Amino acid sequence: MNQFQYVRPAQVPGATKAITNGANTQFLAGGTNLIDLMKMGVVAPEKLVDINNLPLKKIEGNAGGISIGALASNTEVAEHPLIKANYPLLALAINAGASPQLRNMATVGGNLMQRTRCPYFFDTAMPCNKRMPGSGCGALEGYNRMHALFGASDKCIAVNPSDMNVALTALDATVHVSGVKGKRAIKISDFHRLPGQHPELDNTLQKGELITSVDLPASPFNKNVHYLKVRDRTSYAFALVSAAVALNIENNTIQGARLAMGGVAHKPWRLTETEAFLKGKPVSLDVFKQAAQIAMQGAKAYEHNKFKLTLAPNTLLQALKTASGLKA
């Protein structure tokens, strides 16, 4: 690993100043993504700003919703009584990711920011527009089994690897950030971006901005939820495809639905049209099958990920069935 400067500020302003001043500077939270990338030579920051001493660990209920500190560990979030009671979808998604050891280390801020697992991004001998803009996309005509179905570009077909982000997207989270220019709140749907011509940008965070918390609004989606993750082994692997489903069902009628898929796009893929279709419909296999088809509109596969065109709607269908309790 390259050498770097190390600073450990105790307060948020110190952290945002420290990051703004340096050219190639990064925040260090749990380290489970950043240290890995540094060992691989994918990134080589000249300075790390260790944010672990900042007072950003609290998880607390607020006017109807909840505020999750950026430094709360993935385990702390998934095990928190308020999360389990009011946002079980988030707990399910987090627990479907990584391993217990990694979830103990991984933070909410770091998870939001984690980089893609595209093998061309990780292999510094390969072209990758995300790692080295202008070098080309190795995956486009290469081994693209893990790659996107939606919203990709000719510059990048990588996917966002996070499970937590899929649930946060379905649950309409807001990301609170703080920078030297002040604070702002970013809707989760505007936080991660599609690759377009600039795949080197994973999200809309500005240089120097620190994620301070992730807030969730009050949610009626605490009962009929499911997170279904399909991967190459039963546990401890990234998603090929995942589906986060939250339904508000009254008298067998779907009052509202919140749906998102993982492993299919450069950002967690919210299914707004499918949600609109489901609203007011009865819980039935036929309705869910139609919903799964609507969700796939606009999907485009590459040479090695064509199986996802079948896997994705099937995953969503199964998640809808499990969340609603529909047998058959």
Partner 1 sequence: MSGKKPCIPAESEDLLHGNRRDFLKKTSFLTAMALTPGTVVKAAEEQWDEKIAGVFEKVSLHIDVNGVKHTLSVEPRVTLLDLLREQLKLTGTKKGCDRGQCGACTVHVNGVRVNSCLSLAVTNEGKKITTIEGLANGNELHPMQEAFIEHDGFQCGYCTSGQIMSAVACINEGHAGSEAEIREYMSGNICRCGAYPNIVNAIQAVKQGGQS
Q: Are 271 and 149 in contact (CB under 8 A)?
A: no
In what helix (H) or strand (E) does residue 319 lie, and over which residues does it extend? helix 308-324
Query: Which of 163, 226, 271, 323 is close enough to bind ligand FAD by CB under 6 A?
Result: 163
Decide: is 21 part of the binding site for partner 1 (CB under 8 A): yes
Contact residue for partner 1 among 206, 207, 236, 253 (CB under 8 A): 236
For 213, the enclosing helix (H) or strand (E) is strand 210-216
- In one-letter notation, the amino acid at residue 9 is P
Residue of 2, 135, 255, 297 interacting with partner 1 (CB under 8 A): 2
Q: How many CA atoms lie within 13 A of 46 on its CB side?
A: 7
Asked if residue 48 binds partner 1 (CB under 8 A), the reply is: yes
18 binds, among ligand FAD, partner 1, none (CB under 5 to 8 A by kind): partner 1
Distance CA 214, CA 67 (A): 6
Among 56, 98, 126, 254, binds partner 1 (CB under 8 A): 98
Q: Contact, 212 vs 56, CB < 8 A?
A: yes
| Sign of the Cα pseudo-torsion (294, 154, 97, 203, in order) | negative
| Angstrom distance (rounded) from CA 174 to CA 156 | 26
For residues 100 to 139, the per-residue mask of contacts with ligand FAD, x marking binding by CB under 6 A and - elsewhere, is --x--xxx-xxx-xx-------------------------
What minimum distance in Å lies between the beta carbon of 63 and partner 1?
32
Q: Which among 185, 195, 108 is positioned nearest to 150, based on CA atoms?
A: 195
107 in Cβ contact with 26 (< 8 Å): no
Residue 7 lies near partner 1 (rule: CB under 8 A): yes
CA distances from 81 to 112, 162, 166, 197 (A): 22, 22, 21, 42
Token look-up 């492993």 returns 263
58 touches partner 1 by CB under 8 A: no
Q: Choose the binding region for partner 1 from 55-63, 96-104, 135-143, 160-168 (rule: CB under 8 A).
A: 96-104
Residues in contact with ligand FAD, counted by CB under 6 A, come to a total of: 30
The interface partner of residue 39, options being partner 1, ligand FAD, none and the CB cut-off 5 to 8 Å by kind, is partner 1
Q: Give least dist CB 197 to ligand FAD, A.
A: 22
Q: Report in angstroms the alpha-carbon separations of 305 from 71, 301, 302.
A: 35, 6, 6
Minimum distance between the CB of residue 301 and partner 1, rounded to whole angstroms? 28
Q: Which two tokens stand for residue 250?
A: 């009254």
81 binds partner 1, rule: CB under 8 A: no
Report CA-CA distances (Å) from 245 to 193, 262, 271, 273, 319.
Answer: 22, 11, 10, 14, 6
Choices 9-17, 85-93, 128-136, 261-269; region in contact with partner 1 by CB under 8 A? 9-17
Number of Cβ within 10 Å of residue 252's Cβ equals 11
Query: Given candidates 22, 31, 133, 220, which one binds ligand FAD under the rule CB under 6 A?
Result: 31
Instruction: Specify the residue, 238 or 277, whose C-beta has the smaller distance to ligand FAD.
Output: 238
In the complex, the residues that contact ligand FAD under the rule CB under 6 A are 26-34, 36, 51, 70, 97-98, 102, 105-107, 109-111, 113-114, 161-164, 210-211, 238
In the complex, the residues that contact partner 1 under the rule CB under 8 A are 1-11, 13-14, 17-18, 21-23, 25, 28, 30-32, 35-36, 38-40, 46-48, 50, 52-53, 75, 98-102, 104-105, 234-236
